[in-house]
Structure 1
Amino acid sequence: MQHGSTGGLDLEQQSTLAGKHALVTGGGTGIGLAIARALAEQGALVTITGRRQQVLDEVAGDGLFGAAMDVRDEASVCGVIADAVAARGPVQICVPNAGVAEGRALHKTDMAFWRDTMSTNLDGAFLTIRECLPGMRGTDWGRVIAVSSIAGLRGLPGAAAYAASKHGLIGLIRSLSEDYMGQPFTFNALCPGYVDTPIVTRNEAAIAQRTGMSAQDARQVMIDANRHKRLIDVEEVAAAALWLVGPGSGSINGQCIQIAGGQTA
């Protein structure tokens, strides 16, 4: 195994992802799909996973291979990733992105809601990374890019379960970066603010119902939470992921990349 300063690859080699196997959970929509497409455009073979095969089938092709997988289910994660590795080789770019984002006051949070949030956002990332690592460790280059949130760096009013799960994800990534320090694998987290995805649309309705404000005003609450006063485009998050797999990225490790229009934490 080569342990060069650029992770076993020179800069010219690192500039292309041709033939590398990437796996993106929650890859059928939103941020995950944008990242998957960006990786495929650079030549990667990208396994995209999600709970609904139909959604994956609608976007598959052009380097994207859909496989239904429930990140909350250990057997599902183990089986699907094993099949993906058998078909396309070891996963060298692992993007645990699948997540749920729903606010709920703590005194209204039952155990089922808490466990579903943790099982999806934190347990799912743990299982995904764990199952990708054995194959990645047999190569001379690898990147793990977890999609966390600004809520993983600071508290989020009315969303204790969500913020706790995203804080935990950052702790996982930072610890793994220490475990593999000096080896040709890096572990980083993307921490976006409010991104223009179906999750924001669902939250818009939930906020409106909970507070009695209009849907437009509820949407404005999320827009105003981003420092530059606009929703973030999924392509902006994908661009950050491409940077972390691109030339000269080997020294970016254990970091939480804020994508929120300004300083937030």
Structure 2
Amino acid sequence: MSFNPFSLAGRRILVTGASSGIGRQIAISCADMGAAVVITGRDPTRLDDTLGQLVGDGHTAVPADLLETGAIDRVVAASGALNGVVLAAGIAKMVPFRMISQAHLDTVLGLNVHVPLLLIKSLLAKRSLQQGASIVFVGAVASEVGPVATAVYSASKAALLGAARTLALEVAKHKMRANVLSPGYVRTPLLDALGNTGAKIDALLDITPLGMGEPVDVAHAAVFLLSDASRWVTRSLFIADGGLTTRMSV
């Protein structure tokens, strides 16, 4: 059999936020490419549903609210030795700037920034990440576009790029890589929730050359960043948005 640079066979990948949406599809696609997948999410029922969709053997589900004390330690302990991590857990809430509260900051920055950084820190401290491991932070094009009423969310996703670029320098001696995968508007429950709170999703899709994305479009990009196909890619911002942000910046 010829070498497939996109194969994840023999690798163990941790995916957070795997109970729905993009995180779920990334877990499914990683398993399809041969990985043993460790999945975590807040909803045990939906997480079990994801687990049931993973082909192959060696998969593990760890229900956890990563904002709770001790949850990160439990996930790290259950993960074992890892060859890759996808940090897809996140929250999006629309709040106008004039209505930002401390509680809103704590919730959004806590899950979108503090949790992924502390999780990676713990994995490094426990030496769970193996030589050549790939770390993928899931960002959002909101950090580039800055939609109305998303100041805290946009800021939280923008913070990931700076963190990833510094992290990538610090782990390069171990041939590890860190990148940010930034999806556009993808058909997920999160997008539906944003639409229900007043986001003008249809207007954004009208100016997206390739239209609405699907979770699998982002998952395939994640597989690329986890695999040997991207072994010379680190500190990068990988935008998968159907051409939306390029068109808006011209």
Q: How high is the TM-score relative to the length of structure 1?
A: 0.84
Structure 1 gap segments, 5+ residues each: 1-10, 209-217
For 2:226, the equivalent position in structure 1 comes to 245
User: Structure 1 pair 13/135, CA: closer, same or farther in 2 (3 Å)?
Assistant: farther
Aligned residue pairs total 240
Q: Pick from 221, 226, 229: which aligns with 2:203?
A: 221
- 2:61 is matched with 66
1: distance between equivalents of 2:50 and 2:158?
Answer: 31
Question: Structure 1 residues 242-251 or 25-34, which shifts more?
Answer: 242-251
Alignment-mate amino acid for residue 18 of structure 2: G
For 1:15-164, list aligned pairs within 5 A.
15-61=6-52, 62=55, 63=57, 64-85=59-80, 90-133=81-124, 134-137=126-129, 139-164=130-155
In structure 2, how many angstroms separate the alpha carbons of the residues matched to 1:204 and 1:156?
A: 13
Which amino acid in the other structure matches residue 255 of structure 1? S
Q: Structure 1 stretches (4+) deviating beyond 6 angstroms? A: none
Is 1:198 equivalent to 2:189 in the alignment? yes
Deviation sequence 1:10-63 (CA, Å, 0-9, x none): x94855322321111101111001111111111111111111111111221335
Measured after TM superposition, the shift of residue 245 of structure 1 is: 2.2
The residue matched to 2:15 in structure 1 has which SS?
Answer: strand
Cα separation, 2, equivalents of 1:47 and 1:12: 25
> Which structure: larger Rg?
1
CA distance in 1 between partners of 2:112 and 2:227 (Å): 26
Q: Does 1:255 align with 2:236?
A: yes
Separation in 1 of the partners of 2:147 and 2:165?
A: 21
Q: What's the TM-score, normalizing by structure 2?
A: 0.88
Q: SS in structure 2 opposite 1:99?
A: coil
Q: Residues of 1 paired with 2:175 and 2:3: CA distance? A: 16
Q: 1:96 to 1:52 in 2, by over 3 A?
A: same
SS of residue paired to 1:102: coil
Report the AA paired with residue 258 of structure 1: I
Identity of aligned residues (%): 27
Q: Distance in 1 between matches of 2:238 and 2:4?
A: 24
Partner Cα distance (1:157, 1:174) in 2: 27
The separation in 2 between residues aligned to 1:24 and 1:183, in whole angstroms, is 21
| 1:261 counterpart SS class | coil
Alpha-carbon distance in structure 2 between the residues aligned to 1:81 and 1:240:
25
Structure 2 counterpart of 1:99, one-letter code: G
The alpha carbon displacement at 1:229 in A equals 5.8
Distance 1:111 1:127 in 2: 20
Aligned to 1:140, the other structure's residue is in SS state strand
Q: Is this contact kept in 2: 1:102–1:159, CA < 8 A?
A: yes
- Aligned counterpart in structure 2 of residue 183 of structure 1, from 174, 180, 197: 174
**Change in CA separation of 1:15 and 1:223 when aligned onto 2, cut-off 3 Å:** closer
- The aligned residue for residue 213 of structure 2 is 232
Task: Tell me how far 1:155 sits from its aligned partner.
Answer: 2.5
Deviates more, 1:11-20 or 1:43-52: 11-20
1:188 maps to amino acid: N
The C-alpha deviation readout for 1:49-90, integer Å capped at 9, x for no partner, is 1111111112213354221111223510111221221xxxx1
**Structure 2, gaps ≥5 residues long:** none
8 Å Cα contact 2:15-2:39 kept in structure 1:
yes
